[in-house]
Amino acid sequence: MAETSVAARSRTATPGEVPLWVRVVVPIAIGIVFLGLWEFLVWRLEIPKFVLPAPSLIGKALVDDLPTLLPSLWNTLQVTLAAFVVALVLGVAFAILFSQSVVFEISLFPYAVILQVTPIVSVAPLILIWVGLDHIERALLILATIVAFFPILSNTTLGLKSVDHNLRNLFDLYHASRWQRLKELQMPSAMPYLLGGMKISGGLSLIGAVVAEFVAGSGNGTGLAWRIIESGNRLNIPRMFAALVLLSVLGITIFFSLSALQTLLLRKWHESAVGREN
């Protein structure tokens, strides 16, 4: 009886077995309570809208300014997705290179670390000068790619090196080629690490695009970041919050899309996504 109760408690506590409706309803309920409290405090304390607008006022600004904000959202999304794809290709390519050659890893990985820890704001003006003000979109892509690159590189490199030693010995026993070992053993082993890095990199690519837009300012490809600066300068705080809401929705959409992709690719074979049978 005691063993049964322990097993039941352990089964109940498993995050993957929480009903879907609970995962949806609970966050929505907390959000509604938070927005209601926000609305009440703004009304009760009579906070000016240029200091902290009420959620209802932000919603109105979002509806009224949507024709202006949507093109900016699209510009930011384009830079984000392009930077994510470039970072994915480069990160996987360099990770494979590092896993195949210790010399390359020792020689180049420290520079990848330096690229990661260097504040993007400090190098953004230099990138803009090098690329030229006539090619702002290209500069935005480079800056966002720099931010999104390292998580994919480090996670994939770790995954390629985390192959079970017994499986390595088995491949050696059958005289597998380097390509066969990479394709049939290392890449499947690295897939969960790669997908985890992609989830991190997806959000960072959006952050990189926003930071790059802050530095680049306005132009033909004006994104949501510049709309936020513009609204703040004009003390149109409800519109600024509306742009922030769109950025948040975009970031959440990217994260959950990559989470769905991770579940789709891993649900049939990896322990992180396979449902428990007992």
Q: Model confidence over 108-148: pLDDT tens digits?
A: 888 988 888 888 888 888 888 888 777 788 888 998 999 99
Domain-located, residue 38: no
Domain-located, residue 5: no
Q: At what angle do helices 120-131 and 187-216 cross, to 10 degrees?
A: 70
pLDDT score for 242 = 92
- In the block, residue with structure tokens 């590092």: 98
| Averaged pLDDT for residues 12-30 | 73
Domain-located, residue 35: no
Domain that holds residue 117: 65-266
CATH number, residue 111: 1.10.3720.10
Confidence label for 2 from pLDDT (cuts 50, 70 and 90): very low
pLDDT score for 4 = 47
pLDDT score for 272 = 57
pTM of the model: 0.83
Q: What percent of the chain shows pLDDT beyond 90?
A: 32
Half-sphere exposure of 29 (CA within 13 A, CB side): 6
Evaluate whether 122 touches 133 at the Cβ level (below 8 Å). no
Give the whole-angstrom CA distance, residue 154 versus residue 204.
Answer: 14
Evaluate whether 209 touches 74 at the Cβ level (below 8 Å). no
pLDDT score for 18 = 74
Top pLDDT among 217 and 266 is at: 266
Top pLDDT among 258 and 24 is at: 258
- In the block, residue with structure tokens 């499986």: 167
Structural domain count of the chain = 1
Evaluate whether 200 touches 248 at the Cβ level (below 8 Å). no
Give the whole-angstrom CA distance, residue 250 versus residue 80.
Answer: 10
| Averaged pLDDT for residues 46-70 | 89
Domain-located, residue 139: yes
Mean pLDDT for the chain overall:
84
Top pLDDT among 29 and 270 is at: 29
pLDDT score for 13 = 45
**Measuring CA to CA, how many Å separate 139 from each of 185, 205, 212, 217?**
38, 14, 8, 12
* 3-state SS track over the chain: CHHHHHHHHHHHCCHHHCCHHHHHHHHHHHHHHHHHHHHHHHHHHCCCCCCCCCHHHHHHHHHHCHHHHHHHHHHHHHHHHHHHHHHHHHHHHHHHHHHHCHHHHHHHHHHHHHHHHCCHHHHHHHHHHHHCHHHHHHHHHHHHHHHHHHHHHHHHHHHHHCCCHHHHHHHHHCCCCHHHHHHHHHHHHHHHHHHHHHHHHHHHHHHHHHHHHHHHCCCCCCCHHHHHHHHHHCCCHHHHHHHHHHHHHHHHHHHHHHHHHHHHHHCCCCCCCCCCCC
- Token duo for residue 187: 């890449």
Nearest CA to 195 out of 163, 232, 158 is that of: 158
Domain-located, residue 14: no
Evaluate whether 86 touches 78 at the Cβ level (below 8 Å). no
* pLDDT of 257 over the 60 cut: yes
